[in-house]
Amino acid sequence: MIMKKILTLAAAALITATAIAQPQVIAHRGYHATKGSCRNSIEALKQAQKLGLYGSECDINMTKDGIIVVAHGYLHPDKIYRRGEDIPRLNIQKSTYEELCAIKLENGETIPTLEQYLEQAKKSKKTKLIIEIKDHATPAKETEIVQQTVDMVAKFGLNDMVEYIAFRPWVCFELKRLAPEGTPIAYLNGDYDPAYVEGMGISGIDYKYDVLKKKPKWIKSCQKRGLKVNVWTVNAEEKLRWVIEQGVDYITTDDPVLANKLIKEMCK
């Protein structure tokens, strides 16, 4: 009888120990897999808010004439890789805002400015905006976009609703220097180990799936150091299952609906 009780307790302890923590879901460039939505559009942010997601990611670039816009790098952003098609491609950083406005997004929207995006972000109390600041031509240019972004976010009263990610260490350092203390900043490039990122003084890593798949120990190593772990861009079910099992803190995905379904099923 006593033995049975001990075994039951041991089994319960084992279940507790192996329970998977629930990761937060971030829609990659907003939730764009619905009709009338497309990547980095205002509609994609609205749809992410409608799903009640933890976060909606977007990419920002500064135009030649100093306007910060939400776009991945070229217009039309989704058609960059479709070779052979005669689609006008404009380098955002070398174009004026007016030039960019001439090209419509897939859903008919005009390229959103960061200001318009923040206006929409303000409408949700739940869904955070995860802003990726893209690489720019010089460190001075990168400081300029960081400063203006941080100021604009503050002006909109969104300091607690915005997190930052960047590939460039310089951008991470400038964000750390200029954003309010405690603002989450994660490094994207995948080349620094947990000890180095801890030394950078930022809040965590946001690494590509392939990087973490090769170095799964980095996940726990980061978490032991108090760093958060985000992973991009995980869409396939088997990959989503793997990152959930690994106990990452955030999953950035183009399929937040599937991610949510799997989390519900796996993290009880």
User: Which residues bind to Mg ion, rule: CB under 5 A?
Assistant: 59, 132
Burial of 253 (0-12, 13-18, 19+ CB in 10 A): buried
Backbone angles phi, psi at 112, to 5 degrees: -75, 145
> Which is nearer to Mg ion, 23 or 30 (by Cβ)?
30
Q: Which of 48, 230, 55 is nearest to 160 (CA)?
A: 55
* Residue whose CB is nearest to Mg ion in the complex, by number: 132
> Which is nearer to Mg ion, 133 or 198 (by Cβ)?
133
> Which letter does DSSP use for residue 113 in this model?
B
User: Minimal distance in Å, beta carbon 59 to Mg ion?
Assistant: 4
> Which is nearer to Mg ion, 23 or 77 (by Cβ)?
77
Rounded CA gap, 129 and 122, in Å?
10
User: Minimal distance in Å, beta carbon 134 to Mg ion?
Assistant: 8
Going by their DSSP bridges, the two strands 90-91 and 228-232 should be labelled as unpaired
Contacts of 25 (CB under 8 A, 6+ apart): 53, 54, 55, 250, 251, 253, 256, 259, 260, 263
> Which is nearer to Mg ion, 198 or 207 (by Cβ)?
207
How many C-beta atoms lie closer than 10 Å to residue 3's C-beta? 7
> Which is nearer to Mg ion, 40 or 113 (by Cβ)?
40
User: Minimal distance in Å, beta carbon 131 to Mg ion?
Assistant: 9
User: Minimal distance in Å, beta carbon 132 to Mg ion?
Assistant: 4
Q: Which of 163, 169, 201 is nearest to 185 (CA)?
A: 163
User: Minimal distance in Å, beta carbon 163 to Mg ion?
Assistant: 12
> Which is nearer to Mg ion, 60 or 262 (by Cβ)?
60
User: Minimal distance in Å, beta carbon 11 to Mg ion?
Assistant: 43
